[in-house]
Structure 1
Amino acid sequence: MLQRKLYPEFSWSLSRHKTLMDCSRKYGFHYYFSHSGWFNDSPDLAKQTYRLKKITNLPILFGEVLHSIIEKVIKDYQQSAFIPAEEELVSFIRKSLNTAFIDSTRHQEEWTQRPKYYKMLHEIYYYGELEEADIKEMEDRLAVCVKNFLASKSFTDITSKKEMQFVQSEEFRTLTLFGVKVFVVIDFLYKDLKEDKWIIVDWKTGKETMEDRNQLALYALYLKEKYKVPLEKIEIRNEYLLTGNCQQYYLKEIDLQHVLQRMEMSLTEMGKYVLDEDTNEPIDLEFFSKTEYTKKCLKCNYKELCEEGC
């Protein structure tokens, strides 16, 4: 039986930081006011906010499904050395996307009652349909990303070299920094025994951004702290599946210091929205201000609440 807590546990993650930087009202809905919304006797606002929190959109869903199939392919290869055909992977991903479309259009009532067990696409919930251009873009991405994954440097490494040791993929890991639990989700981690180095891999399904390298620096910090791996033996790698490009880096201590400084500033900012640090009770919703960049609101899950005056 789930034990109900009055307020959510405080933790830090890159996604939490990005949400706050995006819009503090969105941050409040996502990390505080949706809490306990899965209980039938929760206040209506908590249930509505939790339901909206579970909405996804086509690009995000595509990335989640692709990451899931990549994880499965790698784990299956570890056990059987079998690599499925490209067409099989494309078909599986397409089927998952179609299931989400069916959930969103034919099972809206079921999703309303049990949002954890059904998918709801933002495009359909708010605008009633998927644009043909968006569907075509996902179709094009699907074929390209699967092909580039199978041909990627990281996947080629683990299927063509014997001196590889698998460590983990797509698993939640935590470490404690500044007295706060920090969540880290590494897409794939393995060790090259011959080169005596650890490789952290992040599969990217979108365009390259300046933030990508910083994200991997946090993962390197986790590896250094948890496994006591010297920094010079850690290679971080972004695999851009949309282009087939692979960016590889080695970090210095100054890079990790920048990550820690940024996190410390982020925690200070998050602290402004907490009334009681011991319980993580938030300040009133009205003090979580809305973003000034209203174009962001068009793609926000909580658009409905703001339009209702929440």
Structure 2
Amino acid sequence: MAELVNRFSYSLSQGSQFRTCERQYWFSRYGSWGGWEREASPLAREAYRLKKLTNRYLWTGNRVHEAIRETLEFLRSGAQPDPGDVREQLLRRLREDFRGSRDHPRKTPGPKNKVLLLEHEDPESAVSDQQWKSVVERALSAIDGFFRSEALRQIQKNGYSSLLRNDDVLESMDAEVASLHFPVFVTIDIALETPDGILILDWKTGKPEKSGNHEEQLGLYALFSKEKWKVESSRIRFAPVYLSYTPDRLDVSPVTEEMLGLASENIRSMAKEILSRIDDPERGIARREQFRTTTDPAECRRCVYRSICPDGPLGALSELSGPV
């Protein structure tokens, strides 16, 4: 078996994580690397375990995406799934996930693909029954919103055969900084081929963003689409779909060449900043002290690595803070 090498890569989520807290990025990308190996250090093993935790928002959002993906596959096959059945199946999965996480022994690894929630792992992250109920209700309302959404009507109008992507493919495009070539990873929820070009839909289970600014995300998707499907930027459009709030709206944004240029520059500048902290991006060597911690206690409290990070504003909860 070929040796796994932790070569540098980039994605929007990695960039967002780095901006939130550089040390969090380090734990995710470097501190946890090799934590699955028998000879891994205690810190690497624990960082790898913590990396697999999720929180209630990511958990329910992922389950909603999964339910929509499966529903569209059924619709594409000619089946007509009942919205009530889809809703009930989602609720069953959420309940099973919740019980499995709640009853799992704390601070122990779980089997592959098992959902383990930060709110059950860390007493400081625990939430009330009402907060659990609220996040589940929002997930269910997102499924209800999907079935009455303008986005689904657009998919049906263009035909299910027009679906180029359906939220299940991790793909990449090449980028370069200082002669280093690296992949930029992209996952598109929906790419739809229409008479006007490609329409990219992005399922949102949270509240509409106040700024309404999706240009960074749109630019990356547009760069990928232009390269993947050989389409002009003027024939690429993007629309976020807020399933729990305004599913009947479809605010479509066009793509411009200026937007593509800005997206390329954003990738290069963000990657350049991250690379400045890394000793060897080809071999995956990066020192923890090169990555600064956030100064925001709220961000620190939300971090899955909070228990093993001694330098954040809240300090570590564990003695596992030595060399990786």
TM normalised by structure 1 equals 0.91
Does structure 2 conserve the Cα–Cα contact (< 8 Å) formed by 1:51 and 1:115?
no
What secondary structure does 1:113 align onto?
Answer: coil
Does structure 2 conserve the Cα–Cα contact (< 8 Å) formed by 1:54 and 1:116?
no
1:105 is aligned, of 102, 124, 128, to: 102
Aligned CA distance change for structure 1 residues 161 and 272 (closer, same or farther; 3 Å): closer
2:203 aligns with 203
1:234 aligns with 236
Which region of structure 1 is more displaced relative to structure 2, 44-53 or 84-93? 84-93
Matched, 1:137 2:140: no
2:26 aligns with 28
Does structure 1 conserve the Cα–Cα contact (< 8 Å) formed by 2:142 and 2:243?
yes
Note the 1:1-310 alignment, pairs <5 A.
3-5=2-4, 7-80=5-78, 82-108=79-105, 112-127=108-123, 129-162=126-159, 165-170=162-167, 171-178=169-176, 179-192=181-194, 195-209=195-209, 210=211, 211-243=213-245, 244=247, 245-282=249-286, 284-306=287-309, 307=316, 308=318, 310=321
What secondary structure does 1:276 align onto?
Answer: coil
Does structure 2 conserve the Cα–Cα contact (< 8 Å) formed by 1:169 and 1:189?
yes
> What CA distance in whole angstroms lies between the structure 2 residues aligned with 1:102 and 1:204?
25
Identical positions, percent: 26
Question: Alpha-carbon deviation of 1:91?
Answer: 1.4
> What CA distance in whole angstroms lies between the structure 1 residues aligned with 2:58 and 2:75?
26
Question: Alpha-carbon deviation of 1:51?
Answer: 0.4
Higher RCO, Cα 8 Å, sep 6+:
2
Equivalent residue pairs, number: 303
Does structure 2 conserve the Cα–Cα contact (< 8 Å) formed by 1:200 and 1:235?
yes
Alpha-carbon displacement from aligned partner over 1:9-48 (angstroms, at most 9, x marks no partner): 2111000000000001101000111111122222211110
More strand by share: 1
**Amino acid across the alignment from 2:119:** E
Does structure 1 conserve the Cα–Cα contact (< 8 Å) formed by 2:67 and 2:86?
yes
Aligned CA distance change for structure 1 residues 67 and 250 (closer, same or farther; 3 Å): same
**Amino acid across the alignment from 1:147:** D
What secondary structure does 2:294 align onto?
Answer: coil
Alpha-carbon displacement from aligned partner over 1:248-294 (angstroms, at most 9, x marks no partner): 11111001111111111101111122112332311x21232210111
**Amino acid across the alignment from 1:291:** T
The answer for unaligned runs of 5 or more in structure 2 is 310-315
Question: Alpha-carbon deviation of 1:218?
Answer: 0.7
What secondary structure does 1:38 align onto?
Answer: coil
> What CA distance in whole angstroms lies between the structure 1 residues aligned with 2:97 and 2:115?
5
**Amino acid across the alignment from 1:220:** A
